[in-house]
């Protein structure tokens, strides 16, 4: 019973780290990354469809993305969707494909991106603390019901805090890595 609760806690904390890494991948560091275009949805025959389902997205150079639609007739729709997504990039329509060249990041933009990543990291920390709180409540409930002893509950709570500290340290490590990427010129 207690093992299931602790396992569920670790799964929630792992998901928080995975979500953070996914969010970090979408933050532009001056290097092209196809995940930057994940928030782009194209109006395709009346349905909002993710761009990555309508086209192949490649990185021919470190600062370029190349979008090759499977259906050549939607190139203009993809171009409009990229412009409307407010990603801070300008698509270049080359007829059958779209090329996106990422501009160099200036100092002010780098600071803004670092601020955004810090907010993302804090959000992940909150998710981890919420998972800890839920698990702590479950352990206290088991103790109150008499399913586990007071000493065992105290030991589990100490282990829970250690696990939480480890996951918060992982968030800090990922944040530091992303900040270094952003500061790299």
Confirm whether pTM is higher than 0.85: no
- DSSP string of 11-22, one letter each residue: HHHHHHHHHHHH
Please determine, for residue 136, whether its predicted confidence score (pLDDT) is greater than 70. Answer: yes
- In the chain, count H helices and then E strands: 5, 6
Query: For position 29, what pLDDT does the model report?
Result: 66
Per-residue model confidence (pLDDT) at position 185: 59
Q: Is the pLDDT of residue 23 over 80?
A: yes
Chain-centroid distance, C-alpha 126: 15
Mean pLDDT computed over every residue of the chain: 89
Q: What is the SS3 assignment for 55?
A: strand
Residue 132 has pLDDT above 70, yes or no: yes
Model confidence pLDDT, tens digit, residues 92-129? 999 899 999 887 778 887 888 889 899 999 999 999 99
The pLDDT of residue 176 is above 80: yes
Listed in sequence order, the residues at least 6 apart from 163 whose beta carbon sits closer than 8 Å to its beta carbon are 6, 9, 10, 13, 132
**Phi and psi for 59 in degrees, rounded to 5?**
-120, 90
pLDDT tens sequence across 51-74 = 989 999 999 988 889 999 998 899
Give the domains, in start order, of the chain with CATH numbers: 2-26+106-183 (1.10.132.20), 34-101 (3.30.1360.40)
Tell me what percent of the residues of the chain surpass a pLDDT of 90.
53
pLDDT tens, position by position, 163-172: 999 999 999 9
Tell me if 142 sits within 8 A of 1, measured CB to CB: yes
Largest CA distance in the chain: 71
């Amino acid at each position: 019973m207690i093992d299931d609760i602790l396992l569920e806690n670790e799964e929630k904390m792992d998901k928080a780290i995975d979500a953070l890494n996914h969010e970090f991948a979408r933050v532009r560091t001056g290097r092209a990354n196809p995940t930057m275009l994940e928030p782009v949805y194209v109006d395709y025959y009346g349905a909002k469809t993710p761009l990555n389902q309508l086209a192949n997205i490649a990185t021919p150079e470190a600062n370029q993305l190349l979008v090759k639609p499977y259906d050549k007739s939607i190139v203009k729709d993809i171009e409009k969707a990229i412009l409307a997504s407010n990603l801070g990039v300008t698509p270049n329509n080359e007829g059958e494909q779209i090329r996106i060249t990422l501009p160099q990041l200036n100092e002010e933009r780098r600071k803004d991106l670092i601020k955004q990543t810090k907010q993302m990291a804090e959000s992940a920390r909150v998710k981890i603390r919420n998972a800890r709180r839920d698990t702590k409540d479950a352990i206290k409930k088991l103790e109150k019901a008499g399913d586990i002893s007071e000493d065992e509950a105290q030991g589990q709570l100490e282990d829970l805090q250690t696990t939480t500290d480890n996951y918060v340290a992982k968030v800090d490590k990922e944040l530091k890595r992303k900040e270094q990427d952003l500061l790299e010129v």
